[in-house]
Amino acid sequence: MEEKYEYSAKIRDTEVKYRKWKVKDKKKFMNSEDKRDLRDALVYDCLEDKTITLSEDEYKYILMKIRETSLEDKVHYTFKCVKCEQLYDFDADLNTIMSGEFLPYGDIIYKDHIFTMSSLKNREFYEGAIDAADSKDEKYLIDFILHINAYNDNDGYSFQQLNEIMNELDADVFEKIIVKWEEMRFKLNNIYEVQCPHCNNVELFEFDDLPGFFPESWDR
Ligand SMILES: [Zn+2]
């Protein structure tokens, strides 16, 4: 049967077309045995372009978009106001509380180093390397390296070679480069202002843990 992809979300200049979750996705999600199956069920199977490679934050962003389209109910929170200490309810619209932040890909230039950054290319390699990494820092570095299209105008470096180049950088040079990459990479912004209806106090809340993200019947 031909699938229709009626919805779209933007990641940088790319219009990512997707469809809502179907029963088959739920089945696959509940029976998935590895992370790849899980990612397929929740996101990749729902995309028109299945060759796309999403970074971890891009994946979370598209997952949130698909969830918000597929399940109309909002995510429900109860907050305790820091000022008046009264409880209040907040129904979070994920499309509003989460947004993507990034700068266009380009060259990161520092001293005699030029890193030309671009989008990810090989999903299998990317996910394999990210899943095998055992620390957050290592994941971050792998993500950075796999976004490098060329180093000093040479686009022929392998992952290992780029890894060695990174390891040989002076620590302060590395820091400067990472600061620029941090501005450029796609980041999920999930910090949002919520206002207490009792005293009108506004506080910033980080929506990192989402209760009710999946329906109860999807419990694995
Ligand atoms: Zn209050």
Please give the distance, rounded to the nearest whole angstrom, from the Cα atom of residue 189 to the centre of ligand 1: 24
User: What is the 3-state secondary structure of the chain?
Assistant: CCCCCCEEEEECCEEEEECCCCHHHHHHHHHCCCHHHHHHHHCHHHECCCCCCCCHHHHHHHHHHHHHHHCCCCEEEEEECCCCCCEEEEEECHHHHCEEECCCCCEEEECCEEEEECCCCCHHHHHHHHHHCCCHHHHHHHHHHHCEEEECCECCCCHHHHHHHHHHCCHHHHHHHHHHHHHHCCEEECEEEEECCCCCCEEEEECCCCCCCCCHHHCC
Residue 71 pLDDT > 90: no
Please report which confidence band the pLDDT of residue 95 belongs to, taking 50, 70 and 90 as the band edges.
confident
Mean pLDDT of 188-211: 90
Mean pLDDT of 89-106: 90
Q: What is the pLDDT of residues 155-180, one digit of tens each?
A: 999 999 999 999 999 999 999 999 99
CA distance 75 to 89: 11
How many C-beta atoms surround the C-beta of residue 164 within 10 A? 11
Rounded to two decimals, the pTM is 0.88
- Enumerate the domain spans of the chain: 7-73, 104-185
Please give the distance, rounded to the nearest whole angstrom, from the Cα atom of residue 193 to the centre of ligand 1: 13
Please give the distance, rounded to the nearest whole angstrom, from the Cα atom of residue 79 to the centre of ligand 1: 10
Q: What is the pLDDT of residues 120-132, one digit of tens each?
A: 999 999 999 999 9
Please give the distance, rounded to the nearest whole angstrom, from the Cα atom of residue 90 to the centre of ligand 1: 13
Please give the distance, rounded to the nearest whole angstrom, from the Cα atom of residue 194 to the centre of ligand 1: 10
Please give the distance, rounded to the nearest whole angstrom, from the Cα atom of residue 205 to the centre of ligand 1: 14
Q: Residues 64, 74: contact at Cβ < 8 Å?
A: no
